[in-house]
């Protein structure tokens, strides 16, 4: 890890009027959550068609078997890591305004970030397919599949974005607004391959914003839109960055 680059990144963040963190699967790998894609990804173990909205509507109980399995093996077990905690500390220091995440693991909220735009929803909530009532994910509620709304009895769906579903309108609108609003985009653990999320930092760059990228390996973004590339594991880089911001405060 290059300390000079960490110092440069800290300087950008300190002088920014507004900073956003834009996160993807790479930030949660060290919390034990595999990415969906890639050789060891969840899609090598599960059939992604089970998370297609048309399949879910036709076969909710079968889809829920898969969802319950994924939740208990991964999303329900994991804890925030040093990178999530660094972002929460940055928010507390007034050096980070908002997190936009593509992850559905709830780890930014668990770490303590107050303003998290959930671009793909959240696996820890269930929403009613009929009355929009929200329910927490509990063992009781999924004891019988498919789980049903305690208010109206309709089938509950996990509150994350399925294949074939649009991005939640408010999240989309708020995230797009940051592409003209925030001066600095701190892009962590995302390779710029999942659309439409990948368009956000590209749009920010087009608007003249500074892009700081944190990734283990160069990505689609590096050399295209990235101004500062901090190569390394998210926990290492973010711990160093937050320490730098702490010292300079
Ligand atoms: Zn309902």
Instruction: Please tell me the distance from the alpha carbon of residue 43 to that of residue 36, in angstroms, as a whole number.
Output: 6
- Bridge partner residues of 160 (DSSP): 121
Record the pTM: 0.94
Instruction: Please tell me the distance from the alpha carbon of residue 48 to that of residue 89, in angstroms, as a whole number.
Output: 35
The torsion of the CA quartet 119, 102, 220, 212, rounded to 10 degrees, works out to 90
What does the pLDDT read at residue 24? Answer: 96
CB neighbour list of residue 177: distance below 8 Å, 6 or more residues apart: none
In the chain the domains, ranked by start, together with CATH numbers, are 1-32+80-120+166-249 (3.40.50.1220), 34-77+122-160 (3.30.1600.10)
What does the pLDDT read at residue 249? Answer: 53
Q: How far is the CA of 48 from the centre of ligand 1 (A)?
A: 26
Instruction: Please tell me the distance from the alpha carbon of residue 217 to that of residue 197, in angstroms, as a whole number.
Output: 19
Query: Residue 152 in 3-state DSSP?
Result: coil
What does the pLDDT read at residue 54? Answer: 96
Instruction: Please tell me the distance from the alpha carbon of residue 131 to that of residue 148, in angstroms, as a whole number.
Output: 11
Q: How far is the CA of 108 from the centre of ligand 1 (A)?
A: 28
Q: How far is the CA of 59 from the centre of ligand 1 (A)?
A: 18
Ligand 1 is a single-atom ion; what residues have CB below 5 A from it? 128, 130-131, 133, 149, 151-152, 154
Instruction: Please tell me the distance from the alpha carbon of residue 234 to that of residue 18, in angstroms, as a whole number.
Output: 21
Which residue in the block uniquely carries the two structure tokens 């700081």? 212
Number of Cβ atoms within 10 Å of the Cβ of 140: 8
Instruction: Please tell me the distance from the alpha carbon of residue 100 to that of residue 24, in angstroms, as a whole number.
Output: 9
Per-residue pLDDT of the chain (249 residues; tens, 9 = 90+): 789 999 999 999 999 999 999 999 999 999 999 877 777 788 888 888 888 999 999 999 999 999 998 888 888 889 999 999 999 999 999 999 999 999 999 999 999 999 999 999 999 999 999 997 999 988 899 899 999 999 999 999 999 999 999 999 999 999 999 999 999 999 999 988 888 899 999 999 999 999 999 999 999 999 899 999 999 999 999 999 999 999 875
Whether 124 is catalytic = no
Q: How far is the CA of 106 from the centre of ligand 1 (A)?
A: 23
What does the pLDDT read at residue 37? Answer: 77
Instruction: Please tell me the distance from the alpha carbon of residue 61 to that of residue 64, in angstroms, as a whole number.
Output: 5
The order of strands in the sheet holding 121-128 is 134-136, 121-128, 156-160
- Pairing mode of beta strands 134-136, 116-118: unpaired
């Amino acid at each position: 890890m290059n300390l000079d680059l960490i110092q440069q990144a800290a300087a950008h963040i300190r002088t920014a009027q507004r900073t956003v963190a834009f996160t993807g699967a790479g930030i949660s790998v060290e919390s034990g959550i595999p990415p969906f894609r890639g050789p060891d990804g969840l899609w090598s173990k599960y059939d992604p068609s089970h998370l297609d909205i048309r399949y879910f509507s036709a076969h909710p109980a079968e889809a829920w078997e898969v969802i319950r399995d994924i939740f208990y093996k991964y999303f329900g077990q994991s804890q925030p890591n040093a990178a999530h905690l660094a972002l929460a500390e940055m928010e507390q220091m007034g050096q980070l305004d908002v997190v936009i995440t593509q992850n559905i693991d709830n780890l930014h909220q668990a770490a303590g970030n107050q303003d998290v735009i959930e671009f793909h929803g959240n696996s820890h909530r269930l929403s009613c397919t009929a009355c929009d009532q929200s329910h927490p994910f509990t063992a009781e509620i999924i004891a019988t599949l498919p789980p049903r709304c305690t208010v109206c009895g309709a089938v509950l769906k996990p509150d994350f974005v399925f294949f074939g579903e649009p991005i939640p309108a408010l999240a989309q609108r708020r995230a797009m607004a940051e592409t003209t609003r925030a001066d600095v985009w701190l892009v962590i653990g995302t390779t710029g391959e999942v659309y439409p999320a990948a368009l956000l930092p590209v749009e920010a760059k087009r608007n003249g914003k500074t892009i700081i990228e944190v990734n283990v390996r160069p990505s689609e973004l590096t050399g295209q839109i990235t101004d500062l590339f901090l190569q390394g594991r998210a926990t290492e880089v973010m711990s160093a960055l937050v320490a730098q911001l702490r010292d300079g405060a």
